[in-house]
Amino acid sequence: MEELHVYAEYNGPVDSSPSTNRTGTRSPKLKCRSHGAVVLSLGLLSVFLLARLISFFVYDHNSVGGSAADLSTIKANLTERLRASEDKLSSVSEERDLLNASFTNLIEEKDRLQRLSINLTEEKDRLQRLSTNLTKEKDRLQRLSTNLTKEKDRLHRLSTNLTKEKDGLQRLSTNLTEEKDRLQRLSTNLIEEMDRRQRWCKQKKTCPEGWRMFHCSCYLLSTRSDSWEKSRKDCRDKGADLVIIDSLEEQKFLSSIIDRHRIWIGLSDRDDEGTWKWIDGTPLTEAYWDLDEPNNGGGDHGEEDCVEILGGRNADGNWNDVLCNNSLQWICENLA
């Protein structure tokens, strides 16, 4: 009888919370299995209690013959306990369904989070590659900026130098313009002087006996030969000097009167080798050298410092440098 009351009066609450083991909280799948085991255990317990009650009722009726009132009370208690067990079973079933739904949602959420994690990993890798490319591009732009800065500095220095050069050329241009104006005035004065001399020459129109006139100058071709220095002395003794050739017209005139003779003219480089000057100190500006002349004799016969005209040659190129002590004819020049 005491054993029966133990089973009949058991109405302790069924713990539906998930159990834990030594390694931590169970997974959702283990939780679901645990609740299923609880529901099954409660069902088996209810069936077992019902069977024991029936057996007890039969036993008590046959052996003892208890009162009908006790049986009714027991039946009522058992019915109430059974109803409570069914309610518990229903509640556990509902909780199981809720847990299953929650488990399904958790699985779906896990899959969604898994996909999101994959996408985020891919996005992280893409951003990492983008960051690497941007770093490389930043370095390239930095190098480009450095090169452009250097180029800008170089161009600035070039601009400064060009500005200085422009200023120098501007000053040179100004100086050349002033020099041109000075030469223009000098040329005008020379032309006026030549015109004056030409008019004076036309009025006088005479040269000493034996002299030839050309453009207001008188020329005398010697009849004997001597060195360049003695030839000049002879001209100066006559109030003249060795001829100075100022133009191609004068050069052609002299070439026409010397026939095939070799004639001294008033040109030499005795003071400074290679620097040809006329006897009045003016530098040579227009020359009529023969082919490969002047050559200073090639160094075989001493210094060739004085100049002759080779007769019978083209007037455009018949000058030759020779030794000053050679014996040649000469031409003296004097104003008419």
d(Cα 127, Cα 57) in Å, to the nearest integer? 79
Alpha-carbon Rg for the chain in angstroms: 70
Contact 298, 289 (CB under 8 A): no
Fold of the domain built from segment(s) 210-335: Mannose-Binding Protein A; Chain A (3.10.100)
What SS3 state is found at 210?
coil
Q: For position 316, what pLDDT does the model report?
A: 92
Q: Is the pTM of this model over 0.85?
A: no
pLDDT value of residue 201: 67
CB 323 within 8 A of CB 301: yes
- Specify the pLDDT at position 203: 64
Question: pLDDT, tens digit, for every residue of 227-246?
Answer: 999 999 999 999 999 999 99
Q: For residue 14, what pLDDT is reported?
A: 41
Please write the tens of the pLDDT for every residue from 160-197: 999 999 999 999 999 999 999 999 898 888 778 767 76
Q: What is the spatial distance between Cα 229 and Cα 134, in angstroms, rounded to a whole number?
A: 91
Cβ-contact 212, 218 below 8 angstroms? yes
Going from the first residue of the chain to its last (336 residues), give the mean pLDDT of each consecutive group of 10, the final group possibly shorter.
Answer: 39 44 48 63 76 65 60 86 86 89 93 94 94 94 94 93 93 93 87 71 75 91 96 96 95 94 95 92 94 80 88 93 95 86
**pLDDT score for 40:** 73
Contact 227, 324 (CB under 8 A): yes
